[in-house]
């Protein structure tokens, strides 16, 4: 009540708010009246309330563990994809190096090799971009 940011700074409004919420708890079976003397009542929480509270705690723990599990699955999927892209990158790099080595041995095949060499270099560049993108996503998700 002393905190100015509270919605119910007036004593009457606060009492009404509490009363409405207690009536809701009584109607759901979470609260029962134990002793009543005139306008004064004593209340007690029921076992149903305890069960609901325990269920909500378990479900919130399940929700947290589900989000962690999902996060781990996403990260694992990204790592798997990264390995595939790196393998393809190494393959393309090896192909480009081989075209270069063959050209040095047989300069007469320059016309046929040049186009293949350029294609494999372009593939290397694209794959390197994919690898960097996936690595950035893994770094972001691990924060």
CB neighbourhood size of 23 (10 A): 11
Residues of the chain with pLDDT under 70: 1-9, 57-68
Tokens representing residue 34 in the block: 């134990």
H, E, C per residue of 61-74: HHHHHHHHHHHHHH
- Please write the tens of the pLDDT for every residue from 30-61: 888 888 787 787 878 888 877 877 777 666 65
């Amino acid at each position: 009540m002393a905190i100015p940011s509270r919605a119910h700074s007036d004593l009457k409004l606060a009492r009404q708010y509490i009363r409405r919420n207690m009536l809701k708890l009584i109607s759901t079976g979470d609260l029962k009246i134990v002793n009543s003397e005139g306008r004064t009542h004593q209340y007690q929480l029921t076992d149903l309330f305890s069960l609901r509270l325990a269920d909500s705690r378990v479900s919130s723990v399940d929700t947290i563990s589900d989000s962690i599990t999902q996060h781990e699955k996403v990260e694992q999927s990204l790592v798997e994809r990264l390995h595939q892209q790196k393998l393809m990158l190494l393959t393309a790099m090896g192909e480009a190096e081989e075209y270069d080595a063959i050209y040095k041995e047989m300069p007469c095949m320059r016309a046929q090799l040049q186009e293949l060499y350029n294609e494999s270099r372009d593939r290397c560049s694209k794959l390197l971009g994919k690898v960097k993108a996936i690595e950035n996503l893994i770094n972001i998700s691990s924060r």
